[in-house]
Amino acid sequence: MTSEVFNPFSRKPSPKTDSKELAKRGEWPKLVLIGIVVVYLALVLLVPAINVFVQAFDGGMEGFLETIRQREFVNALKLTLLMAAIAVPLNTVFGICAALALARKRFPGRTLLISIIDLPFSVSPIVAGLMIVLLYGRNGWFGPLLESAGIKIIFAIPGMLLATIFVTLPFVAREVLPVLEEMGPELEEAAKTLGASSWQVFWRVTLPSIRWGLLYGLILTNARAMGEFGAIVVVSGSIRGKTQTLPLFVEEAYKQYQTQSAYAAAVLLALLAVVTLVLKEILERKTAIKDAE
Amino acid sequence: MTPSSNSQSASFLSRLRQVPRLPFIWQFTWVYLTIMLFVPVIALLLKASTLSPAEIWRIATSPIALSAYDVTFVTALVTAAINGVMGVIIAWVMVRYEFPFRRILDAAIDLPFALPTAVAGLTLATIYSDSGWIGSLLAPFGVKVSFTRLGVAVAMLFISLPFVVRTVQPVLRELEPELEEAAWSLGASQFQTFWRVLLPPLLPSILTGVALGFSRAVGEYGSVVIVAANVPFKDLITPVLIFQRLEQYDYAGATVIGSVMLGASLVILLAINLLQAWGRRYDI
C-alpha cells in the first residue's frame, strides 16, 4: 500500500468494497427474479406438461394400452402421420424456392410479399379452415364442380391436407431466408463461373450452407402439421375413425369424458413436442458453434 | 392464312420469347402461393362482399359478436401485456444469471410452439379445474379458472409465453453489462439504470414480442375451446363463434366475423412490421 502512489484517476477500483457492494447489489434481486421465473414457468408450463405424463399412466399401463389398441386411435395416428408426410415435403420445396427467390432479388414490394407469406402465422386457424370450406365446400366456389366430378374435399382427407399446408406454409421459408441472406451470392456465383449448372450449384453449394436452417424449419413444420387442431376441425367434421387426427381424437375423447383415452393420445403428442424441443436445442447449439467459429 | 398475318403472328411469338421468362423458383413460388394462400383469402373476402354493407354491419356488430370480440381481444391484450413483463424478466434471468437447470428451463420456454394446442387445453383444463392440482388450491378462495374467462386467460398466457422471451433474448445478449456498470458507477439507481439504460434499446423487441403474442392469442382456438365453457356473453371467443356459425350452416355469419378476424390479423401484421423496422434503428 505504501509503495503505491495515490492516483485519483486510477481505473483500478479498491477491490474490497467493490466486490462486497456488487455481491450485495447482485444477490438479492437475482434470487427474487429467479424465484419469480421458476414459479411462473411452473404454473403456466411445467406443471401442465408434467400432468400430461402423470395422467396418461394414472390407470396403469393397462388403460394406456387399451386406448392405443382402439381402431379409432390407430386411424387417428395414421392420419396424423399422413398429414405430416404430405404437408412437410410440399412446404419444404415451396420454402426453399421462395427463400431462394426472395434472397437473391431486390424488388419493390419484396417486404410486402414476405409479410404475406407470414399471414398464416397471424390469421386464426379457424379462419384458415373457413377459407377452405368457402372454396371447396358444398356452397363454395368449386363446390358444384367438384361434386359433379365426384371429388370430396371437405369432410375428407384432401381438405385436411389443404388446411395443414396453409397453417404450416411459412416455417421453412422464414427459417431459410435469413440464412441465405447471410450467406450472400458470392459462393454461388463462383461455382457458376467455374462451370457448374444450376442444379449442381444448388446441391453442392447452396443446400450444404442452408442445411441447419432448413432442418430447423422442417422440425417446426412437422410439429405444427402433426399438432394442428383448429384449421383441421373446421374442414374435417371430426368424424370418428375417419377424419380424426390425434389432436381431434384428444378433444373428442375429453368431451365424451373418456379422460384416460384423451391422455393416452395426448402423451404421444407431448412426446412429439419433447423430441421437437430436443432437436431444436441440438440444432441451435450447432449453429451457435458455427457462428462462433 | 395470309402471309401478312403469318409474319405478324411470327413477330408476336418472337416478341413473346423476348419477354424474360421467370425462373423456375419464381414460377413455383407464385403458383404455390396462389393456390394455397391467395385464392383462399380472396374467396373469403369475395364471399363477404356478396352481402350488402348494412347486412355486414348488422352481423359484425351483433351483441353476441361484440361480446366475443371483447372476450377475445381484451383478454389477449391483458395476457400479452402480462407476458410482456414476465418475458422481459425471464429473458433477463436466462441471459444474465447462471443457476441449476437453466438450460432445461430455457429450452422448455419453446414448449407452447411444439405442444399441440389440444393437448395444452386438455392439461390446463384438468389442472385448473376445481379438483385439479392448482385449481383445488384456488377453489377455497372462490376462484374458478377452468370453464370461465380466467381459463381463457390461462390458455392465452400459455400460448403467447415464448414470443417476448425469444424476441428480447438476442437483443439483451448484445447489450454489454459494461453499459449498466457505467450507469451505476455514475450514480444511477437500479431503477434508473433499468428505465434509462436498459429499456430504450429493448423496447422495440419487447413490443414486437407483445404484438406477436397478442396476434397468436387472438387467433387461438384449440386450447381455449377445451379450457373454456364457450358460453355466449361469458367466455365465448371469436374463433369459437365462427366455428359455431359454420356448424349451423350460417355461412354469411361465419364469413363476416371471419373477415373481421382477418382484418385484425392484417393490422397486427402491419404493426409488427413497423415495430421491426423501428427496432432496426439500433442495428449498426
CA-nearest residue of chain B to A168?
Answer: B36
Say if A264 is an interface residue toward chain B (CB within 8 Å).
no
Q: What is d(CA B171, CA B13) in angstroms, rounded to the nearest whole number?
A: 55
Residue A44 to residue B33, Cβ atoms within 8 A: no
Q: What is d(CA B235, CA B232) in angstroms, rounded to the nearest whole number?
A: 6
pLDDT in tens, B267-282: 999 898 888 888 777 6
The count of structural domains within chain A is: 2
> Distance, in angstroms, between B256 CA and closest chain A CA?
11
Which CATH architecture describes the domain B45-282? Orthogonal Bundle (1.10)
Residue A116 to residue B33, Cβ atoms within 8 A: yes
B8, pLDDT greater than 70: no
CA-nearest residue of chain B to A270?
Answer: B115
Say if A273 is an interface residue toward chain B (CB within 8 Å).
yes
Residue A121 to residue B258, Cβ atoms within 8 A: no
Residues of B in Cβ contact (< 8 Å) with A168: none
The larger pLDDT score, comparing residue B176 to residue A268, is at: A268
CATH number of the domain enclosing A271: 1.10.3720.10
Residues 230-249 of B with CB under 8 A from A: 238-240, 242-243, 246
Residues of A in Cβ contact (< 8 Å) with B268: 122
Residues of A in Cβ contact (< 8 Å) with B178: none
Verify that A137 and A46 share a domain, yes or no: no
B5, pLDDT greater than 70: no
Residue ranges of the domains in chain B? 45-282
CA-nearest residue of chain A to B244?
Answer: A234
Residue A34 to residue B97, Cβ atoms within 8 A: yes
pLDDT of residue A8: 44
For A41-57, letters b (16+ CB in 10 Å) and e give: bebbbbbbbebbbebbe
Verify that A45 and A127 share a domain, yes or no: no
Give every CB contact of residue B181 below 8 A, 6+ residues apart in sequence: none
A3, pLDDT greater than 80: no
pLDDT of residue B268: 92
Say if A86 is an interface residue toward chain B (CB within 8 Å).
no
Q: Identify whether A71 is part of a domain.
A: yes
Verify that A83 and A160 share a domain, yes or no: yes
Q: Identify whether A127 is part of a domain.
A: yes
> Distance, in angstroms, between A210 CA and closest chain B CA?
16
Q: Which domain holds residue A236?
A: 61-292
Q: Identify whether A9 is part of a domain.
A: no
Residue B123 phi, psi dihedral angles, 5° rounding: -75, -35
Residue A169 to residue B37, Cβ atoms within 8 A: yes
Q: What is the mean pLDDT of chain B?
A: 90
Verify that A95 and A25 share a domain, yes or no: no
Q: Identify whether A10 is part of a domain.
A: no
Q: What is d(CA B92, CA B187) in angstroms, rounded to the nearest whole number?
A: 22
Verify that A24 and A99 share a domain, yes or no: no
Instruction: Quote the cell numbers at residue B38.
Output: 391467395
Q: What is d(CA A25, CA A19) in angstroms, rounded to the nearest whole number?
A: 10
pLDDT of residue A131: 96
Residues of A in Cβ contact (< 8 Å) with B94: 37
CB neighbours (10 Å) of residue B264? Answer: 22
Helix/strand/coil (H/E/C) assignment for every residue in B135-156: HHHHHHHCCCCCCCHHHHHHHH
Q: Is the pTM of this model over 0.90?
A: no
Residue B242 to residue A130, Cβ atoms within 8 A: yes
Q: Identify whether A179 is part of a domain.
A: yes
Q: What is d(CA A27, CA A275) in angstroms, rounded to the nearest whole number?
A: 35
Residue B146 phi, psi dihedral angles, 5° rounding: -65, 140
Verify that A106 and A152 share a domain, yes or no: yes
Say if A98 is an interface residue toward chain B (CB within 8 Å).
yes
Verify that A49 and A177 share a domain, yes or no: no
Helix spans in chain B (H): 3-18, 24-33, 39-49, 53-60, 63-69, 75-96, 102-108, 111-114, 117-127, 135-138, 149-174, 177-185, 190-192, 199-219, 222-227, 238-247, 251-279
Region B135-156 average pLDDT: 94
For A267-290, letters b (16+ CB in 10 Å) and e give: bbbbebbbebbebbeebeeeeeee
Verify that A44 and A72 share a domain, yes or no: no
**CA distance between the termini of chain B:** 66
pLDDT of residue B14: 63
Verify that A143 and A249 share a domain, yes or no: yes
CA-nearest residue of chain B to A114?
Answer: B273
CA-nearest residue of chain B to A276?
Answer: B114
Instruction: Quote the cell numbers at residue A9.
Output: 484517476
pLDDT of residue B125: 96
pLDDT in tens, A30-79: 899 999 999 999 999 999 999 999 999 887 788 888 888 899 999 999 99
Verify that A27 and A168 share a domain, yes or no: no
Verify that A130 and A249 share a domain, yes or no: yes
Say if A28 is an interface residue toward chain B (CB within 8 Å).
no
pLDDT of residue A2: 42
CA angle (B117 as vertex; B111, B122 as ends), nearest 5: 105
Q: Identify whether A217 is part of a domain.
A: yes
Region A154-170 average pLDDT: 95
Residues of B in Cβ contact (< 8 Å) with A40: 86, 90
A22, pLDDT greater than 70: no
Q: Identify whether A5 is part of a domain.
A: no
